[in-house]
Structure formats: C-alpha cells, structure tokens
A and B are shown apart, each in its own frame.
Chain A
C-alpha cells in the first residue's frame, strides 16, 4: 500500500526555468510533509517541510505547496540551477508517529 506516491520517475528542465515536482498521498492523518534531495553515493538531505495546517512554505528558491483537499503537494524550484540535478523524495509523517513514509523519488535533471 503506497501511501505516498511520486508518479513521475524523471523530470528534465532547462537551467533558469521553474522545476515542479509533484507528490500525492492517501492518508489524511499525515501531519508533516518533507522534501529530501539525494545525490549519488550520498544519503538524503533535508530540503524543506510543511505542516498540514499550512498551504505554503518558502525557503529561498524552494517553495512547497500543500493542497489538502486534493491530497497533493508540490515542490517548486525557481530558478533551477545545474546543482539541483538530483533525486527528490517526498516524505510524510503520521500524526503521533516518528517514522517517515517516502515516495519513490523523482530524478530531476537541469539542462544548461
């Protein structure tokens, strides 16, 4: 039962343009959503998070939007830079729990 889904395995974007990564979830009891970035041969690194009581959180070039009615969140990166090329994981935490449930990941490639 995949509670967190990233339906796009890969995404290619031109440098300077906006990158939009999408994530869908099924469990309405998730209270926090996070995005992680992973380079090859490294562990995932935290990027940005959002509480379920908010609909937007912004940190520099990164903005996460949450649409609870649609059970959908998205990560916007603008402008995209070559160093943003990585695998991005969406994750969610159940209220009262400690573990994170991860999506399958989306490989983002920024083309010069």
Chain B
C-alpha cells in the first residue's frame, strides 16, 4: 500500500508526558501537512512542509508542539508536557506538485491521542 501511513494509531498517555507521532507520506509527494480533529469538528490546520522546510504554522501550534521533516520524507509531530485539551485525532496529509493547484490532499488514518 502506498498511501499515507501514521504511527501509532492510538496513544494513551498521562498528563505531563511527551508523545511523538510519525507520518510517512506518499513517496513522490513533496508537501506534508499536519491537522488536528476534535469530536464534532472538522480538521484544523496545524502546519505544513514543502520538502524539509516548514513553511507555515498555525496559531494552534503552541510552544509545546514541534514538527520536523528532516530529510523531506517522513515527519514527526511531538507534543511536550501533554494536557487533557491535547486529546484529539492528529491527521497527516500529503500532496503532489501536480495536485497542489486544486488543494487536494491525501490523508492518513490518523493518530488518536488520549491524555488522562
């Protein structure tokens, strides 16, 4: 399968702990995005990368959040000192040069975070 893959699918942690999520985009896609989705809401933009450069960050991305895409391939999203309000589904998406004109994104299945 050559879709977007995310790991882990589900993470349960205690408040104050650090968590890290990994995303492997579709191999030929140069753009990678992180979104967050809470219950009853649509996905909210967090940040995006073009190759290894992080080009935009949302105000939602507090200082406790950091994302990297060190070699322009996979990406990690780390949340430090987790809070209960961080509980959400974290979605990764990628897009290709050809599809970026229409804004079409290919999403992974998401990583669900539960902070106790």
Contacts and interface: CB of A to CB of B under 8 A. Distances in A.
Interface residues of A, number: 26
A32 B110 CA distance: 24
B109 A102 contact: no
A89 B104 contact: no
Secondary structure call for the B interface: loop
Given A43-B108, A43-B110, A99-B45, A104 B40 contact: yes
A100 interface: yes
A86 interface: no
Interface of B: 4, 31, 33, 40-45, 48, 55-56, 58, 91, 93, 100, 102-110
Interface of A: 4, 6, 9, 32, 34, 36, 41-46, 49, 51, 89, 91, 93, 97-105
What 9 A-B pairs have minimum CB-CB distances, sorted nearest first? A102-B42, A43-B107, A93-B103, A99-B45, A32-B103, A43-B109, A44-B107, A49-B102, A102-B43
